[in-house]
Structure 1
Amino acid sequence: MRLPQAQVALLEAASATDAKTIEQLADETDLKPETVTRAAFDLRDEGLVAVGERVDESATLTDEGETYREAGLPEVRLHRAAREAGEGDPVPMGEAVGAAGLEGPEVDIALANYARKGYGVVDAGEVSANGDADPDTDPEAAALDALAEGESVDDADLLDRLESRGLVDLDERTVRSVTLTDDGVTALMEGVEAAETVDRLTPDLLTSGDWADVEFAEYNVEADAPAVEGGHEHVLRGMSERVKDVLVGMGFQEMDGPHADADFWINDCLFMPQDHPARTHWDRFALDVPPVADLPDGLVGRVEAAHRDGVGEDGDGYHSPWSEDFARAIALRGHTTSLSMRYLSGYADADLEPPQRYFSVQKAYRNDTLDATHLLEFYQIEGWVMAEDLSVRDLMGTFEEFYRQFGIEEIRFKPHYNPYTEPSFELFGEHPETGEEIEIGNSGMFRDEVLEPLGIECDVMAWGLALERLAMLTTGAEDIRDLHGTLADLEFLRNAEVTY
């Protein structure tokens, strides 16, 4: 029997009684593991060897895991400190944390795992220690020690928990082993001759006649190959570029401006009262930096007057505190409407001779509760149209045309209240997978209290749409956290496409 050299070497190294791994056979034959693997599958197809497979899982400590192995898990240190300081009584949180030597994120980690492990209770700013708990037998700490010593841990749930905490890295690999079959043993006894193996027919082989004496390699299209994940445009990037193309095609110009801006541009120009709940430190990301010094004095005065006294004969301001210092304070913008205020005021040197259309697709930042449709930062599709005699129908028609470009034919409108637009309404679309109606934007006609201080004498319709929620409608993503953030579904992102 004539076989390629690699197959002959593998047959001679394999055993009929002991299964040998690909790595062992590669060492014995001085061949690359991938060459041995290919030869093993070819011989298996000929019935000369059997190939077995098993999946081995290995765990290694991360840097954080090694740190906690040496210093102790945060929850274990907190229990010991609370037990020693309180001697059975609750201990103030600060005292227990300080005694445990916990710093930064270690505090949150300790509190998150303290009650779960039965170490005690954290309530009303105090920590109590369970005297019956024994931190010396903590299974997670024991597993870290075992892995550091090179020992195996057989508890899969425990390993998964350690991985979720970022303390270990789990790695799975397929281990293949080769055993001679009866036919393989027979072939060796009868004699196997190595033939030169080539993978292509060349002119030299044809002219020399050597083609008759060589063995041509067969291509095994079913052989395993490593997965290769190349670079891929993020679905939100693709959606952003598509949105820009659509709006430019509808006659809009793009706006640009700072992510951190004066509260004056973010809220005051929008007739948002300074004591509005959305402007407290709980909801806005205030920055500890010097205030903005350069604001247009005349505009500041007109905006303050609108807040205090209203606009027009029937206008009535908020009669609430208004501070120029607060207006100059800097925060991360909670919406990109701050750009609209800069442009409509002429501060950004925009052309304000009606009609005009402007848009932006940029990030905004809000201290929202994280859920399936909210993140702390998100992309907003900002836009406005300035013209004479605009109506709500013009605004609705603009949305219908815009969303039609993405294959979304049905948009529902719901009346809404905004301090800066009247009338106002929210937009809703139906999720293609869940059938749930999700809010995709907010819009309306800017009020006189917004436009008059800016010097605008015609109508302006405006909106802020959510890019991520548009992506959810077009890709079928059911959770905004599948699109970006620490929990993003990488497999989903590799396959998601912007199809319109």
Structure 2
Amino acid sequence: MQLPESQVAVVEAASADETTAVDALAAATDLPPETVTGAVFELEEDGLVVVKERVDETSRLTDEGETYADDGLPEVRLYEAALEAGADDDPASMGRVIGASGLEGSQVDIALSNYARKGYGAIDSGELTADPDADPAADAEANALEELAGTDDTPLEVVDVDGETMGGLERRGLVEIAETTVREVRLTERGVTVRTDGLERSETVGQVTPELLTSGEWEDVEFAEYNVEADAEQVKGGRVHILRQTADRVKDVLVGMGFQEMEGPHVDADFWINDCLFMPQDHPARTHWDRFALEEPTHIDELPEGLVERVERAHREGVGDDGEGYHSPWDEDFARALALRGHTTSLSTRYLSGEQIGEIEPPARFFSVEKVYRNDTLDPTHLLEFFQIEGWVMAEDLSVRDLMGTFEEFYARFGITDIEFKPHYNPYTEPSFELFGTHPTTGELVEIGNSGIFREEMLEPLGVECDVMAWGLALERLLMLMYGFEDIRDIHGTLCDLELLRETEVTY
């Protein structure tokens, strides 16, 4: 019987008494595994072999997992440092404990996000407590890493780790689970007969080349059959992140409502971030616990001199006949200190003052969808960095009714029509109110933004003589209401679920 050379090699190497894996046949025939796989399928069609398939799952630690297997999980190291600092008796400074733990970079965020979740203690207002009854030796993830260390590509059925723990390690990117299709081949009786009777190698051509066409040889050669069932490499293409898609949609909506986009620095002076907002310099939100200051450089070089004087006067004395100011310390050196912006209202103060693009005449509408940074405690609705939808409208005789109507129109574009409002206090707006939306899965009210009419004490130093209504909305919270996400960490960050992002249908 005449067969292509690859098929002859497989028939000669296969056994009728026991199955042989494709990889073993490839090694025996000195052929690539994909060539053997194609030959096996063709032989199966001719009834010469039987092919059995199974799916094997194997696990291996990632580089990050190997690091934690050697050094310990970040949350365990944080707990051990907290115990050393006496946090099991009295709350300890979070910064001091982190420094003592030796954690750096992203490991700090990972430790903080898992510390309370695993019951090691609590984090509140920059202080950390340790539960004396917590037992790191019973940490299932830590024990699993120790079990998996040095066992690359180990079959899951022989690993002494439960499925829930393994799934948690995989979501954290510490373990890779690989599925491999294993094909095993055995000769049929017909295959044995054909091999016994003798095999001849037939010459086949697998590709049409220019030489075959120009020479005319293509008319005389035998072409190999194309096997459409052969394995092909799985390629997952890149795509725009669902959060970025939503941000782009928000921009489209606001531009359609007549707004222009603002741009500005992520690192800015406290002057633009807080002082221009009539935020007193002794406000708790301006301490190092709630902001990320810069080590180098520490201060901005230039600020508009006249504006600095007007802002300082507003803080010290107030604005207008009835203004009193704060009667609290105000220091220009503190105002020049650089930090990562805690809100994009720093862009609004730059634009309203005329420093960014020149004087703006009313009526005017501006917005930004940019990242902000806050030293918050990580939980399902808070991150250390997130996107804020900043916006403001400058016009005569604006009212709360105008502001509420703007929100109702904006959120309706995303299918959200049950917005609720709650009175609130801000140092820079009066009146002020927070916005809430109903979570589509839990039914709970979720805070989605803050807003109000800018106070005269803020606008007068900036040189604005008419009303300005403004807001800061959370992009990630909007995403939660649109798609039903319950944990913001599922969509970005170290615990991001890539499969969820690949499979979530984008809706507008």
Please give the TM-score of this superposition, normalised by the length of structure 2: 0.77
Q: Structure 1 residue 39 and structure 2 residue 39: aligned?
A: yes
Q: Which amino acid in 2 is paired with 1:38? A: G
Change (3 A) 1:278 1:37: same
Cα separation, 2, equivalents of 1:364 and 1:72: 31
Q: Structure 1 residue 293 and structure 2 residue 301: aligned?
A: yes
Structure 1 equivalent of residue 122 of structure 2: none
Please state how far the C-alpha of 1:144 moved relative to its aligned partner: 7.2
Contact 1:47 1:181 survives alignment (8 Å):
yes
Contact 2:59 2:175 survives alignment (8 Å):
no
Cα separation, 1, equivalents of 2:451 and 2:476: 17
Structure 2 equivalent of residue 418 of structure 1: 426
Cα separation, 1, equivalents of 2:383 and 2:45: 53
Q: 1:232 aligns with which of 235, 239, 245?
A: 239
Q: Which amino acid in 2 is paired with 1:234? A: H
Please state how far the C-alpha of 1:344 moved relative to its aligned partner: 0.6
Contact 2:172 2:494 survives alignment (8 Å):
no
Contact 1:263 1:328 survives alignment (8 Å):
yes
CA shift digits 1:304-330 (9 cap, x unpaired): 222233322333322333222222211
Cα separation, 1, equivalents of 2:498 and 2:5: 42
Structure 2 equivalent of residue 456 of structure 1: 464
Change (3 A) 1:66 1:271: closer
Structure 2 equivalent of residue 360 of structure 1: 368
Contact 1:337 1:382 survives alignment (8 Å):
yes
Structure 2 equivalent of residue 57 of structure 1: 58
Q: Please give the secondary structure, in 1, of the residue aligned with 2:361.
A: coil
User: What do you get for the CA RMSD once the two structures are aligned?
Assistant: 4.5
Runs of 5+ unmatched residues, structure 2: 79-83, 119-127
Change (3 A) 1:72 1:337: closer
Cα separation, 1, equivalents of 2:149 and 2:381: 41
Please state how far the C-alpha of 1:151 moved relative to its aligned partner: 13
Structure 2 equivalent of residue 279 of structure 1: 286
Structure 2 equivalent of residue 374 of structure 1: 382
Please state how far the C-alpha of 1:354 moved relative to its aligned partner: 0.7
Please state how far the C-alpha of 1:303 moved relative to its aligned partner: 1.9
Change (3 A) 1:492 1:61: closer
Structure 2 equivalent of residue 156 of structure 1: 161
Cα separation, 2, equivalents of 1:410 and 1:126: 41
Cα separation, 2, equivalents of 1:407 and 1:165: 33
Q: Please give the secondary structure, in 2, of the residue aligned with 1:265.
A: helix
Structure 2 equivalent of residue 120 of structure 1: none
Please give the TM-score of this superposition, normalised by the length of structure 1: 0.78
After TM superposition, the structure 1 stretch with the greater mean CA deviation from structure 2, 235-244 or 277-286, is: 235-244
Contact 1:287 1:332 survives alignment (8 Å):
yes
Contact 1:201 1:211 survives alignment (8 Å):
no
Please state how far the C-alpha of 1:438 moved relative to its aligned partner: 2.1
Q: Please give the secondary structure, in 2, of the residue aligned with 1:15.
A: coil
Q: Structure 1 residue 479 and structure 2 residue 487: aligned?
A: yes
Q: Please give the secondary structure, in 1, of the residue aligned with 2:367.
A: strand
After TM superposition, the structure 1 stretch with the greater mean CA deviation from structure 2, 433-442 or 382-391, is: 433-442
Cα separation, 2, equivalents of 1:290 and 1:102: 26
Larger Rg: 1
Change (3 A) 1:124 1:361: closer
CA shift digits 1:336-361 (9 cap, x unpaired): 00110111111113342111111111
Please state how far the C-alpha of 1:459 moved relative to its aligned partner: 0.7
After TM superposition, the structure 1 stretch with the greater mean CA deviation from structure 2, 8-17 or 255-264, is: 8-17
Q: Please give the secondary structure, in 2, of the residue aligned with 1:156.
A: coil
Aligned residues: 471
Please state how far the C-alpha of 1:3 moved relative to its aligned partner: 4.7
Change (3 A) 1:287 1:26: same
Structure 2 equivalent of residue 17 of structure 1: 17
Cα separation, 1, equivalents of 2:392 and 2:145: 58
Cα separation, 1, equivalents of 2:378 and 2:37: 48
Cα separation, 2, equivalents of 1:54 and 1:476: 34
CA shift digits 1:366-424 (9 cap, x unpaired): 01111122110011111111011112222222222222333334333222222211222
Cα separation, 2, equivalents of 1:224 and 1:242: 39
CA shift digits 1:84-140 (9 cap, x unpaired): x9xxxx9xx9xxx9xxx984459998xx99xx9xxxxxx999999x9xx9xxxx977
Contact 2:3 2:201 survives alignment (8 Å):
yes
Cα separation, 2, equivalents of 1:462 and 1:365: 20
Cα separation, 1, equivalents of 2:132 and 2:488: 36
Structure 1 equivalent of residue 409 of structure 2: 401
Cα separation, 1, equivalents of 2:486 and 2:155: 41
Q: Please give the secondary structure, in 1, of the residue aligned with 2:316.
A: helix
Cα separation, 2, equivalents of 1:124 and 1:481: 23
Contact 2:61 2:149 survives alignment (8 Å):
no
Cα separation, 2, equivalents of 1:452 and 1:182: 96
After TM superposition, the structure 1 stretch with the greater mean CA deviation from structure 2, 2-11 or 457-466, is: 2-11
After TM superposition, the structure 1 stretch with the greater mean CA deviation from structure 2, 138-147 or 422-431, is: 138-147
Structure 1 equivalent of residue 123 of structure 2: none
Please state how far the C-alpha of 1:174 moved relative to its aligned partner: 3.3
Cα separation, 2, equivalents of 1:126 and 1:62: 30
Structure 2 equivalent of residue 328 of structure 1: 336
Please state how far the C-alpha of 1:471 moved relative to its aligned partner: 2.5
Please state how far the C-alpha of 1:72 moved relative to its aligned partner: 9.7
CA shift digits 1:63-98 (9 cap, x unpaired): 8747976x99999999xxxxxx9xxxx9xx9xxx9x
Cα separation, 2, equivalents of 1:275 and 1:77: 34
Change (3 A) 1:170 1:324: same
Q: Please give the secondary structure, in 1, of the residue aligned with 2:239.
A: coil
CA shift digits 1:280-302 (9 cap, x unpaired): 21111122333223222222222
CA shift digits 1:137-178 (9 cap, x unpaired): x97797578649x99974235994987898776655333221
Cα separation, 2, equivalents of 1:358 and 1:124: 44
Q: Which amino acid in 2 is paired with 1:245? A: D
Q: Please give the secondary structure, in 1, of the residue aligned with 2:292.
A: coil
Contact 1:270 1:420 survives alignment (8 Å):
yes
Change (3 A) 1:170 1:439: same
CA shift digits 1:40-83 (9 cap, x unpaired): 234334543233335152546848747976x99999999xxxxx
